[in-house]
Amino acid sequence: MPYNTVNYVEDEGIALITLNRPEAMNTLNNEMLDELESLLKRIEENDKLKVVIITGQEKCFCAGADVREVRKCTTLLEVHYFASKVQRVINFLEILPKPVIAALSGVVLGGGFEISLASDIRIAADNAIFGLPEINIGIIPGAGGTQRLPRIIGLTKAKELLFTGGIIKADEALRIGLLNKVVPLKDLLNEAKNMALMIAEKPPVAVKMAKMCLINGLQMNLSQALNYELRCVEFLFSTEDQKEGMNAFIEKRKPQFKGR
């Protein structure tokens, strides 16, 4: 299926999504949101795909929502429709039962920043800049920025970024715990692919359960989350991959996981 606003490639169990509206700094419009949602559903249903990488161009990952499109929203209902679509697509990215690696370079602002926050692993090039500048145009982030950011970097620094609309560079983002690593721009995609290949070799059901435990457990109190974790461990002992993994360990050979 051809896409107008994203490029898509599947290789070695990796789904590579490249945002592709460079003339508009990869800003999110209705067409891109529809294509991303359709693409994520396609990836979810394909058991051969183990990991997702989402990236953009060297100078811009995504500069947020397309202000020209947002300005067309003249009623609260229209605002709700557009904002809820952005939130729905980004939420889908977060709960996708496959790890998502954001490979970030250049401008990572607004909704683009929120896409990265919903990703599981964030690797940035040394030219990346990050921010939630919505306050500067009289609004606030509406696709998870006010909620995911403090959960990742803590409330104090999140308040500073949200209230000032300030921009931080990649080294500062790494220092405050926003990023997993920073690499030279020329190495960004290879670094993301190497991480993806490492994850793709792991048993898929266990990876899915680990992601579910992390995301769902944060919505529970500790006692509930520990009980949920225990149920997931018990389920994994019913899988073929668990038996293969333990047998391979004892037999000192590389396991052959089948996702069952």
Q: Using CA atoms, how far apart are residues 22 and 127, in angstroms rounded to an integer?
A: 17
Phi and psi angles of residue 172, each rounded to the nearest 5 degrees, phi first: -70, -40
Our measurement of the distance from residue 138's CA atom to the centroid of its chain's CA atoms, rounded to an integer in Å, reads 26
Of 134, 172, 191, 244, the catalytic one is 134
CA angle 238, 243, 246 (to 5 degrees): 135
- How many C-beta neighbours within 10 Å does residue 248 have? 14
Helix (H) or strand (E) holding 55: strand 51-55
Q: Residue 238, SS3? A: coil
Torsion sign across C-alpha atoms 250, 255, 256, 260:
positive
Three-state SS sequence of 200-237: HCCCHHHHHHHHHHHHHHCCCCHHHHHHHHHHHHHHHC
Q: Is 114 annotated as catalytic?
A: yes
Q: At what angle do helices 30-45 and 76-95 cross, to 10 degrees?
A: 30
Of 23, 44, 114, 240, the catalytic one is 114
Q: Is 244 annotated as catalytic?
A: no
Q: Show the DSSP H helices in 23-169 as ranges.
A: 30-45, 67-70, 76-95, 111-118, 145-153, 155-164
User: Do residues 121 and 128 touch, judged by C-beta distance below 8 A?
Assistant: no
Name the residues annotated as catalytic.
114, 134
